Structure formats: structure tokens, C-alpha cells
Amino acid sequence: MTSVKLLSGNAAIARGAYEAGVTFAAGYPGTPSTEILENIVQYKDRITSEWAPNEKVAFEAAAGAALAGARVITTMKHVGLNVAADPLMTLSYIGVEGGFVACVADDPGMHSSQNEQDTRHYARFAKIPIFEPANSQEAKDFVGLALEVSEKYRTPVILRSNTRISHSRGLVTTGERRESSRAIGFVKNPPRYVPIPMWARQMRKEVEERLGQLGAEADRSPANRIEWRDRSLGIVTASIAYQYVREVWPEASVLKLGFSYPFPDGLIRQFAEGVQRLLVVEELDPIIEEHIHAMGIECEGRRWIPGIGELSPTRLRECRAAMEGKAKVADTGAAPPFAADLPARPPVLCPGCPHRGVFYALSKHDVVVTGDIGCYSLGVFKPLDRLDVILCMGGGVSMAHGMSKAGEPRKIVGVVGDSTFFHSGITGLLDVAYNRSSVTIIVVDNRTTAMTGHQDHPGTGRTLMGEETVAASIAEIGRACGVKRVREVNPYDQQATQKAIAEEIAADEPSLVVSVAACPLRERKRIGLQRVILPEVCKSCRACLKIGCPAIENVGDKPQINEFLCGGCGICQQVCKFNAIVTVEEEP
């Protein structure tokens, strides 16, 4: 039975996985891909779904299930595919048995990412197919198409989404689940599955032969289509850019690519021969444009279409005006100045955030602090100003070690979150202990993967399916890595936290501090009693403002605490030397 539902792209991908008979899904949360697994878990009677410690583990677990014959998906954001790149490149060689789809969500414009990447490069790099839906309906339908192509050619397939596709909603016609008829059971076949050089060389040839066959498949795929209209201008496009093209050039003919790699050369030639002028509109890198040029076909693209940031109808209207000689072409990734008259609001740690206590304690020391990707990256902003460099997940630990070995004269502190510790911080900590750098690693453990929306991880004691499970101890793992100085602190206790951090920074050996306090947004309750500043006692020294709490407002000649924002953590009360901050119950 079919029905029509309003679904986001991520919810539609989850539905597509359900209908296509997927039985295993694994991923690591990362905006804008996170909600795929959060929607899949509603089908837990048919699909086993799980958060993995990182994208590489998720990819490898899904690969194992596919080699046993199951239909699988794995999910991640674009930078997560960097982590999973190693198994991706070799899975392309050994292939799969059950359908395997890697759902990768790009973030053009870097709404919540540290860089801008075009995942299509990975498809070409690994010589595997890529599908690019342009709306929620295609997001659902392309999962099934991708799985069929995967099983037919025994290849992993990438389904590339992006922020707009993942988070926009559209009407989706849903259907019934179709179970796979493939039997589950791994069949031993070393020449196929063991890529030692003597067999891998043959696999390399087969990958190239497969790529040729896939190009022919793309030419006849229902995911690609020509829409003939006025033939004075033809536009080749894909993904969300197709929607913008239809809005900005409604009269133009369009070659819409959904199965965009390997390139459907026959379809491209047919379309190019049918139009007078050929334009390529693609978000981020000029991958299609360069290929069409390489085919010897004249086309335009980057000359008019910006390659930095997210496209939009507004930006493409500027491009069209430039093409028609009416305006200068837009050449930056700057967002349209919506509500430009509003005051700027720099990102800050939430009221009551436990990370504030750690960064405030670190502000007492002249040390180098290497950080990671997570809520705690906000420690870089003033007034805390206690994070000096961020590279990637797990990099906060490894960079601290490297700086120490390079001879950095100051003491070095590496900061990592709990989820990031399990993601890829453990191996860095092993390196710290094994190669003996006297750095201090601080794990800010707020008992969840906070920045992506409070997902569970191996330290929380719960699975994505809602089951109770083992809760891995960060402190015990630290000891198992070989770190002898391991201590846990409550970051809301400033005296104890400052004492512990000072002692560990001074130590001449590796140390691990685990700051343990749950994220108050996840707990959905105050940490303690609400605080208030007594104006008759306050000396207006503004020491309380130095903790960077958004609940403390600099109003008039003395600070005030916003009663609606105060989380009751009490750090402000501990830093006030004049006892001007009290609990509401103590207020005279």
C-alpha cells in the first residue's frame, strides 16, 4: 500500500533503506547526516542500527554485513568519509555481495563543518558509482536504485546528500518493504576477498572493467533524464542545484543527473548536440564541467557559477544577470545578507555548560591548548580564549603529543570530548603514553555526543536501539593505554578542578584528566539553585563576566544574572571574591 508523507531528505533516506530491504545500518553522527540513523531506528524490528565509535568502524561493520549478503547502509558527513577512506578504497577492489550504500552528506557553505569538501571526488577516486538526489522523493527512491546497482556490479555505492537535501522536507510517496531474496552466509573465496598483491592486481583490472560497464548503466539509468525546452541554452546539473536551475532558468533545456558518476557520456553528447549553448551548474567543484571539456565539448560553468559556498536561487540569478551582461558575476561564498541589521551573536558555550569550568581553569595557565571538533571548540572565543588550534576529530590529543616532541617550550594540554575520545582519541592517547610525552590530556565528558544532538556512544551505556549496554570507562581506558596519572574531576567544583589541572600540567609525565558532568541540555533540568547578583554587595569588578556565561548580562554599571538562562552551575558564585553572588534561596 502506498501513502504520501512529508519527509526530510534524511527521513526519506531512512525510509528508502527500509523499503529496499536493508537489514543493517551503522554510522557516526555528523551534521547534516545525523538524522538518517535516528529515523532508521524506528524500523528496528527489521533493521539493526547502531552508532559506531567512528566512521571507519561503521564503514567496516557495514562492509562485513554486505560481504555476508545483507543489504546495508552506512552514514556519515563529508569529513567522516576522510576517516573511512581507507576501507572505501579497498572495498572497491574486493567488492560486495549484498547491496552496500554509503550515505555521505556534504555541507556546502560550512554551516556546521570545519571545511568544505566535494564527495564526488571520492567516487571518482575509488572508481565507484555515486547517486545524487534532488529532493526527498529521490532521496528515498535512489537508495533502492543504488542498492540494485551495488548488487548487480558488486560494488560499494555512494549516495551523496547535502545540507539542503538532508534538512528540507518534501512530499514522498512511500511503499511496502521488499525483503532481499539473497541468502545470508559468507562464501570463502580468497582470490576475490583477499587483496594481497598477487590477487589485488587482477582486482585492479576488474575495477576498471566495471567502471566502463557502470558508465553504460548510467547512460540508461532512470535517475538521469533530459528535459527538452528552449534549445538556445542547455544546462547540465545535479543534486539540489537542479531545483535552483528550474527556478532561475525555467525556459532552458536541462540534463538532470541523478546517477552522476561514472559520467553518462552518451547522454551528455546527445544533450550537447541538441542545444546551442551549454552551461554546467554544479555546487562546489567543477567536476562535471571538467569532464565535458575533456570530452572535447564546449561548455561554460565556473566562468559564471561560483565554486565556493552553497548555491541558491539568489546567487544563480546573479549568475544569470552576469551571463546576460546585466551585472558582475558573484565570486564569493558569502551568504545573502538576510536580516543584516540584527546585532552579531558570536557562538558561546551554553549556560551551565560543564566545559566552561575546564576552560576557566585553563585560563590560569600559560599553556598551549590543542583542541578538537565538538562543543568545546567554542572555548576558543573570548573571554575564555583557551583553545589555540583545532584540526580534526582526535587531533587534539595527537597534536599535543607532536608539539611536545617538537620541543614547544610551554606545557601543552590536549582537549577532547567523550564521543571524540572514543572516535579517534584513544589511539592518540596510546601514542602519548607509549612515546612518553609529558602532556596533559583533558577529556571533557558530558555523557553524550552533544554537538550533533545528544546521540549515545560507547561511554553512555545505551545503544541507538535503546538497549542497556556496557558503559566504557574513559579513566580505565586511559590506564590501559599506559597513562599512570589519571584523575576524574567535577568541573562545577572550581577549586578542585583548578587544583587538579595545575598539578597535572606541572607533572613531568603523561597525564589524563576526565572532567565528568552531564550536558544540561540533555538532562533538561537545572544543575543547581538559580544564582542572583546582589547589587548592594557587587563591586563591579566584572570577574563573573570572564567565565563567558550568556546568563550573565552586562546591564548598566553592574552585571545581572538572567533568571531564565541561569542553569544553576554556580561557577560564577565561586569566582566572585566579594560574595555578591548568592542562590535565590539565600537572597535577603
pLDDT in tens, 321-348: 999 998 765 555 555 556 667 777 778 8
Q: How far apart are CA 151 and CA 169, in angstroms?
A: 29
Nearest C-alpha neighbor of 155 from the set 76, 236, 67, 243: 67
C-alpha distances (whole Å) from 411 to each of 72, 338, 408, 437 are 46, 44, 8, 10
E strand or H helix at 246, and its extent?
A: helix 241-248
Contact 311, 283 (CB under 8 A): yes
Contact 355, 446 (CB under 8 A): yes
Tell me what pLDDT residue 482 has.
Answer: 97
Mean pLDDT confidence for 359-364: 96
Reply yes or no on whether the pLDDT at 372 is more than 90. no
Q: How far apart are CA 59 and CA 52, in angstroms?
A: 9
Contact 492, 360 (CB under 8 A): no
**Structure confidence at residue 296 as a pLDDT band (50, 70, 90):** very high
DSSP H helices in 467-535: 474-481, 494-506, 520-523
Tell me what pLDDT residue 327 has.
Answer: 75
3-state secondary structure of 157: strand
The Cα angle at residue 416 between residues 413 and 422, in degrees rounded to 5: 135
Reply yes or no on whether the pLDDT at 467 is more than 60. yes
Nearest C-alpha neighbor of 5 from the set 19, 23, 25: 19
pLDDT digits (tens, 9 = 90+) for 37-60: 999 999 999 999 999 999 999 999
Please enumerate in sequence order all residues whose Cβ is within 8 A of that of 338, keeping only pairs 6 or more positions apart, or say none: none
Reply yes or no on whether the pLDDT at 587 is more than 80. no
Q: How far apart are CA 24 and CA 22, in angstroms?
A: 6
Q: How far apart are CA 473 and CA 363, in angstroms?
A: 27
Q: Kindly write down the DSSP assignment for every residue of 325-383, as one continuous string.
A: TSSPPP-S-PPP-TTTTSPP----PPTT-THHHHHHHHTTS--EEEE-SSGGGGGGSTT
What is the DSSP code (8-state) at residue 179? -
Distance of CA 22 to the CA centre of its chain: 23
Nearest C-alpha neighbor of 147 from the set 193, 96, 189: 96
Strand stretches in 273-315, DSSP E: 278-281
Distance of CA 448 to the CA centre of its chain: 16
Distance of CA 219 to the CA centre of its chain: 32
**End-to-end CA distance of the chain, in Å?**
67
Q: Name the grid cell of 316.
A: 544563480
**Structure confidence at residue 586 as a pLDDT band (50, 70, 90):** confident
Q: Name the grid cell of 516.
A: 565528568
DSSP H helices in 154-196: 163-167, 190-193
Nearest C-alpha neighbor of 575 from the set 429, 384, 420: 384
Tell me what pLDDT residue 556 has.
Answer: 83
Question: What are the φ/ψ torsions at residue 24 (nearest 5 degrees)?
Answer: -145, 135
Reply yes or no on whether the pLDDT at 425 is more than 60. yes
Reply yes or no on whether the pLDDT at 513 is more than 90. yes
Contact 546, 386 (CB under 8 A): no
| HSE, side-chain direction, 13 A CA sphere, residue 79 | 17
Tell me what pLDDT residue 328 has.
Answer: 66
Mean pLDDT confidence for 105-115: 92
Contact 304, 319 (CB under 8 A): yes
